Structure formats: structure tokens, C-alpha cells
A and B are shown apart, each in its own frame.
Chain A
Amino acid sequence: MPRPFKPKVITANALLEGDVVYFTANDEWSREMCQAEVLEDQAHAELRLIEASRQQAEIVGAYLADVKAGDNGPEPTHFREDFRRTGPSNYFHGKQAEAS
């Protein structure tokens, strides 16, 4: 039996700044994971990844990342995605600084 599909979001880095970005339901890129479109179905996720990857002038290296449902939208399941969403742990730089 195939493994059940885990919910995903599409994430990439912004072309100009390199910031971590997430693909939204209206085909835009957000700096915040909670605004990302959550993809519940494999075929749909693959299709959306193709659409996201076409936006070469905006982003670099789009891929699917596992998420779980949280109080304020999708949250990462792996620590790597948690760091990408937050910023480094040695300085208050990156997204954590922008959010405050």
C-alpha cells in the first residue's frame, strides 16, 4: 500500500534577496509560511510545483516541504524547515528579526 501523502507547501528562495519564500494559493510568493497554500494531494502538489518553478524571475530552487496543520496555518515538521522559517540560532537575524 502506498504511504499516505503528507501535506506539503512549496518553498524556494527569492531571486534578488535570497529570502525564504512560500507559494500562496493565488500564485504569489509570501515571506511567511503561514500564508502558504497547503497541498493535500500528490498529483495536485506536483502540478503546483511545476507552476511555481516557472516563476524563474522571482525565485530559485522551488521544492515541496512537509508541513502539519497549526493554529495559524501550516507549520514545519522538520527542524531544517523550522530554521528556514525562523533564521539562524546564533544571531537575531533573518526572518525572526524582520517579524519583530
Chain B
Amino acid sequence: MYRYNDFDDAFLAERNAQFRAQVERRIEGALTEEEFRPLRLMNGLYLQLHAYMLRVAIPYGTLSSAQMRQLALIADKWDKGYGHFTTRQNIQYNWPKLPDVPDILDSLGEVQLHAIQTSGNTIRNVTADHFAGAAADEIADPRPVAELIRQWSTDHPEFQFLPRKFKIAITGSPNDRAVTKAHDIGLRMVEQNGEAGFEVIVGGGLGRTPVVGKVMREFLPQADLLPYLEAIVSVYNTLGRRDNKYKARIKITVNENGIDEVRARVEKRFDEIRPLFKGVDQEMLADIEAHFAAPAFVNKDVAPYELAYTNDPVFRSWADTNLSAHKAEGYAIVSISVKAHGQTPGDATSDQMRLMADLAEKYGHGELRISHEQNVILPHVHMADLPALHAALKEQGLGTANIGLISDIIACPGMDYCALATARSIPVAQQIAERFDELKLEHEIGPLKIKISGCINACGHHHVGHIGILGLDRAGVENYQITLGGDGTEDAVIGQRVGPGFAYDQVVAAIETIITTYLSLREDESETFLDAYRRLGPDPFKAALYPEAAKRNAA
């Protein structure tokens, strides 16, 4: 993992001291809210429905045990004993008080974490594949590059006042787990004739206008990355619209000007600035790479795993659902579900955080990851240790075997917390999870991604959910639109709206109808919901959801 150097430490300490003084001046009355607001947003501090909210970046989703313990300490000392992991690998505290925030930031600084550029029209937290450095299908670990981008983008003087926020995601695997095609810039690490480089995807995004990103460069040599990124953001900074917030993201810039025109401008700008990069960035990258050396994997007998797998059906179910293939022999990637049925997706208590930190230290080389699907990953666990790990997780309600299943729901905070929300998300997620747990159908249904957003901004990624749910305010009443067939992988597809929305108390039944329809029409158990939807199209689902309309059409 990356360790701050003296420059990083000094930079963060100075920045935190500046914000401490800004908070003091606001409380004394020397700054108006209008003056203070952009300053607090630069440091991740929002004002939400019931309280302030502090968004802390977890760069590319990687945490050490010590960092996780500090997040737990902050939750206990200054919040209500829990934190919320978000769809962009951040953690949010829902109840901090303004005078405490400078102390919280100093506390984060002690473990080399910060909240810089987690808001505002800047380059946000760089997200990455949560299996980075561990996945069997990986070409290269994307995290050193992500760290280089973090350092380049943090406080970048040219990019503090972009037309709108700007999000970058990177993956080192052909199987895209980082939703790169729904980001302003998506980077896929590729090789061409033995040379390492990137496929550069630009102009993806969800929100009001969902767009699948377009390829700007099929192959960008690794050494050209920072000047090329700088060229893209620079062109966007001048070409992007500032007259209309809803047309300000780069996806609109690309749509309005065309990818070819934007590419031509980027290449021109790239030619201008490429000579200014004289290799310092590549020297820094080489230094950073040394921080991300793989842990010292061990060779052990996997008999304890095999014994538990054969004899313990609960362990077997968990192992079948929550483990992924690791690149090292005898190892597994463990996804810890923080979504026990009926719990708030993405919320972890301080006790759970401390347990996961301890278990990471004991069994996982001290590393944790946060996924954009709002779960916690132990990337390097030897299979021999899995039975003991699973037993310990169960003690704190962390043993749920539901990764990738119907109750592994992404949900934004929605109107329970968010000032922008138009309807609630969390209770809808809780009720769906509880309903299908009650029906005991979850494992029979198989792989299924439900994603819920409480407003059109789509933090819950509903457009790329196999089933997407969007909560809206229709004449003062919560109403939920359902989309089907979305996909957030390398084959990204935007889901299609199935018909008129459903009331708050009808949405769970509507989901059940969709699932019943799928189960009755699938060819066999191996045909997933998404495959079945692609084969059948929306019509059978529409007919089941809107029988009255189907009757009228038939008449």
C-alpha cells in the first residue's frame, strides 16, 4: 500500500490547518455561508437533510487495518457508531457536527486519509477494481496508476473549477468490475505487442442523461497517461458548458461536439503539453509501484477448507457465493457482505469495522478493499484460513452469503439522508432483501443485480442494474420507476424503462412479479436473469407487471 512521504504529510497537515481556520472564521461570523460553502465542499463536507455529512475518500478502495480501525474510532467519537460505504469507494459519516470536523480531518490525516476533492467541480476520488492486485484475471494492478492520478489531480491548479465534477475509474482486468464505461474517463489496462498501456474511454456517465463511454484512444502507451489525461480535462475545461448544470458533464460535451471533434482537440492539446512531461511522472510511478508489491504469499495445506466445505452447508453456501478466484495458488478473494437481509446497504458499525480490520490483519495480509457495490473485500486470504474467518464473521452479522444475488443491492442514501433525493432508497432495499429471504428464493434466482437511486442523479447506478429502481416525487408522493436489462460490466448497457412507476408500497410486489416471470420463463437454472431478459425482451415482464394494459392492447 502507498505510504505518504514527507511532502504528502506536510501538504495534508497544511490543508487541514487551513480548513480549521476557515471553520473558525465561519463560526465567528467572519465568513458568510456563501463564502464558506465552496471551502467546506472542497473538504468533503456537505449539509444534508438532518445534519452535516462528511465524505472521506478511500483512494481506489484500498484500506489498511489501521485505517479501518481509525474509521471505526471516528464513527464512535464523532458520529453515531457507524459509517456508510458509497458507490464510489468513499465512506460517509451522516452526523458530524461542524466544530468537530477539523478534528476528524486531523484524525484521518494520522492514518493518511483525507476528504479532499470528494465534492465540488473537481477530479474526484479515483476508483478502481476492488479485486486489484489479487484477481486471477488481472493483466496488471491498476492501483499504482490510480495513486499517480490521485497525486496529479489533488489540488491541480488548472482543475479546481471545472464545469462540473469529474470522475475517473481504472481497471487492470478485462472483466470490468469498476464500471469504467459509466465514468467521465474510464481506463482499461491493455497490452499491445508486449507494451503496457491503456484503452481510454471518455464521456460515460449515468444521471439524468445516461451514456455509455466512447473509446477516445484504443491504445495509449503508459508513459503518455498523465499528459493525455491533462489534455482531456483541459479540453473539457474550456469546451464544457457552464451555462447549464445539467449539460455540463463531459458526456454532453462529447455528445454535442462529437467524439471525433473532441478527440482532435485532445490530440492537439496533447501534442502541446506532452514535451512538458520529462519523465518525472514515470519516476514517481516507479516509486509508487514499489509500495504495491504483492504480499508474501505462503504455501499451506488447504485441508481445513476442504473439510469445512464438505461438512458444513452454511460454510459451503458462503464459499460458493462470496469467494472469487485469486491469482496466487491456495488463495481466495473474500467478499464480506455488509448487507445482511434487512440492513442498510453499505452501512458498517464500528464493531464490524474493527472486526474486519482484525481479521484482515490475522488472515489477510493487513489489506481491505471497499467495493463500489458497497461491500468490504479481503483480497488475500489463504483457503486454509477461510473456515476460521467465516466463523468469526458470523459473530458480527457479517457472514451473509449473498454476494451478487438479489439482496446484494446497491442503494444510495436517498431521502433518508440526502438533500437532493426525491424519494427513499434504503427502505426499498431493506424490504426487497427481507422479502426474498422470507421466500428462500435467493440462491435459486442466482446472479442478479438490483440497483436503487433516490433521484435522477443516479448515485445508486440504477441505469446499469439488471433491475434498476429510480425513486421520484410524483405530485408529492414517492413513485418508483423500474428499468430492466442494464449492465455495468465491459459490455455496458443502459436499462430500459418498463412502464409507469409504482407507489412506495407496491414496488416490492412489482419486483416479485418480475422475478416470478423470470423463473417461469428461463430455459434452465443456468440462464441468468440478464440472459433471459436479453432473449425474451421486455414484453413478458410488461405483460406481468401491467395486466390491465395488456388486456386493453389485446382487445
Q: Which of B95, B427, B430, B477 contacts A93 (CB 8 A)?
A: B95
CB neighbours of B476 from chain A (8 A): 77-79
User: Which of A18, A57, A77 gathers most chain B CB within 10 Å?
Assistant: A18
Of A9-17, A34-42, A43-51, the stretch lying at the interface with chain B is A9-17
Of B46-54, B375-383, B495-503, the stretch lying at the interface with chain A is B46-54
B415 contacts A83, CB within 8 Å?
A: yes
- With contacts A56-B29, A57-B29, A90-B427 taken as known, whether A15 is within 8 angstroms of B50 at the C-beta atoms is no
- Taking CB atoms and an 8 Å cut-off, the chain A residues in 53-97 that contact chain B are 56-57, 60-61, 77-80, 83-84, 87-91, 93-95
A90 contacts B97, CB within 8 Å?
A: no
Answer yes or no: B27 CB below 8 A from chain A CBs: yes
Minimum CB–CB distance from B217 to chain A (whole Å) comes to: 43
CB neighbours of B94 from chain A (8 A): 88, 93
Minimum CB–CB distance from B39 to chain A (whole Å) comes to: 13
A88 contacts B50, CB within 8 Å?
A: yes
Bound complex: CA of A19 vs CA of B473, how far in Å?
A: 24
A94 contacts B47, CB within 8 Å?
A: no
Answer yes or no: B33 CB below 8 A from chain A CBs: yes
Q: Which of A15, A18, A60, A90 contacts B426 (CB 8 A)?
A: A90
Bound complex: CA of A83 vs CA of B422, how far in Å?
A: 12
CB neighbours of B26 from chain A (8 A): 15
Bound complex: CA of A17 vs CA of B98, how far in Å?
A: 6
Answer yes or no: A33 CB below 8 A from chain B CBs: no
A90 contacts B47, CB within 8 Å?
A: no
Answer yes or no: B490 CB below 8 A from chain A CBs: no
CB neighbours of B99 from chain A (8 A): 16
Q: CB-CB contacts of A1-29 with B at 8 A, as 1s and 0s?
A: 00000000000010111111000000000
Q: Which of B27, B32, B33, B52 contacts A18 (CB 8 A)?
A: B52
Closest chain B residue, CB of each to CB of A86: B50
CB neighbours of B29 from chain A (8 A): 56-57
Bound complex: CA of A15 vs CA of B99, how far in Å?
A: 10
Q: Which of B47, B97, B424, B430 contacts A61 (CB 8 A)?
A: B47
CB neighbours of B27 from chain A (8 A): 15-16, 57
CB neighbours of A57 from chain B (8 A): 27, 29
Closest chain B residue, CB of each to CB of A20: B50
Q: Which of B32, B97, B424 contacts A89 (CB 8 A)?
A: B424
A17 contacts B97, CB within 8 Å?
A: yes
Answer yes or no: B436 CB below 8 A from chain A CBs: no
Q: Which of A77, A78, A84, A90 contacts B50 (CB 8 A)?
A: A84
CB neighbours of A61 from chain B (8 A): 33, 47
Q: Which of A19, A79, A89, A93 contacts B80 (CB 8 A)?
A: A93
How many residues of chain A have a CB within 8 Å of chain B? 25
Bound complex: CA of A65 vs CA of B415, how far in Å?
A: 16
Minimum CB–CB distance from A96 to chain B (whole Å) comes to: 10
Bound complex: CA of A19 vs CA of B416, how far in Å?
A: 14
Minimum CB–CB distance from A84 to chain B (whole Å) comes to: 6
CB neighbours of B95 from chain A (8 A): 18, 93
A17 contacts B416, CB within 8 Å?
A: no
Closest chain B residue, CB of each to CB of A17: B97
Answer yes or no: B191 CB below 8 A from chain A CBs: no
CB neighbours of B48 from chain A (8 A): 18
- With contacts A89-B424, A89-B426, A93-B80 taken as known, whether A13 is within 8 angstroms of B47 at the C-beta atoms is yes
Minimum CB–CB distance from B193 to chain A (whole Å) comes to: 53
A87 contacts B50, CB within 8 Å?
A: yes
CB neighbours of B417 from chain A (8 A): 88
Bound complex: CA of A84 vs CA of B416, how far in Å?
A: 9
- With contacts A60-B33, A83-B416 taken as known, whether A15 is within 8 angstroms of B98 at the C-beta atoms is yes
Q: CB-CB contacts of B382-423 with A at 8 A, as 1s and 0s?
A: 000000000000000000000000000000000111000000
A79 contacts B50, CB within 8 Å?
A: no
- With contacts A57-B29, A89-B416 taken as known, whether A83 is within 8 angstroms of B49 at the C-beta atoms is yes
Answer yes or no: B478 CB below 8 A from chain A CBs: yes
Answer yes or no: B43 CB below 8 A from chain A CBs: no
10 contacts between A and B (CB under 8 A): A17-B98, A19-B51, A20-B49, A20-B50, A60-B47, A61-B33, A83-B416, A88-B50, A89-B426, A90-B344
- Residue ranges of B at the interface with A (Cβ–Cβ < 8 Å): 26-27, 29, 32-33, 47-52, 80, 94-95, 97-99, 344, 347, 415-417, 424, 426-427, 430, 473, 476-478
Question: 3 tightest A-B contacts by CB?
Answer: A88-B416, A18-B51, A18-B52
- Extra A-B contacts (19), CB below 8 Å, given A20-B49, A93-B80: A13-B47, A13-B51, A15-B26, A15-B98, A16-B98, A17-B97, A17-B98, A18-B48, A18-B98, A79-B477, A80-B49, A80-B473, A83-B416, A88-B417, A89-B416, A91-B344, A93-B94, A93-B95, A94-B51
